[in-house]
Each structure stands twice: as structure tokens, then as C-alpha cells.
């Protein structure tokens, strides 16, 4: 779990993609079907996204799933 000091690379990539293409976490939740509270938590504290969630984010933001995990290694 992230202490809030550093953002997890996957969460950071997801937040960037969401804000650049969908404008808000609420819009991303609606577009992907990921509950807002779940999506917000993943973005805030760096809790792990599932592969299914990353695939949904990729489809909604027009990115490849690898965009989100590329910097996580």
C-alpha cells in the first residue's frame, strides 16, 4: 500500500490518461463501469488495478493496456 508520499506508476499513468481523454474520474467511472469509489481509491492510494480494469481503462481512453503497466516494472 502506498503511504501517499509517492504515486504508484500505474495509478499515475491511469490518472494522466483519464484526465487527458475523459476529463474526470467520474466520467471514467461511467465510461468503464468501474465503480467510482473503487477507481478513486486505486488512483489515490495506489492499490492494484485488476487486468480487467486496466483493459477497460485502455478501451475508454484509446490507449493500449501496456501504456499503464509500462512504467511499473
Neighbours of 46 (CB within 10 A): 19
Q: What is the pLDDT of residue 40?
A: 96
Q: What is the pLDDT of residue 70?
A: 83
> Torsion angle, CA of 14/16/18/21, rounded to 10 degrees?
-140
Measured CA to CA in angstroms, residue 72 lies from 7, 50, 51, 56, 61 at distances of: 11, 14, 14, 18, 19
Q: What is the pLDDT of residue 71?
A: 56
Q: Domain 9-69 belongs to what architecture?
A: Orthogonal Bundle (1.10)
Q: Residues in the chain with pLDDT < 50?
A: 1-5, 73
Amino acid at each position: 500500500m502506498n503511504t501517499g508520499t509517492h504515486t504508484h506508476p500505474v495509478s499515475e499513468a491511469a490518472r494522466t490518461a483519464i484526465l487527458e481523454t475523459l476529463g474526470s474520474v467520474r466520467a471514467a467511472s461511467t465510461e468503464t463501469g468501474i465503480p467510482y469509489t473503487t477507481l478513486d481509491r486505486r488512483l489515490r492510494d495506489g492499490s492494484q488495478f485488476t487486468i480487467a480494469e486496466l483493459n477497460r481503462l485502455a478501451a475508454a481512453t484509446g490507449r493500449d493496456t501496456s501504456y499503464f503497466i509500462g512504467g511499473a516494472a
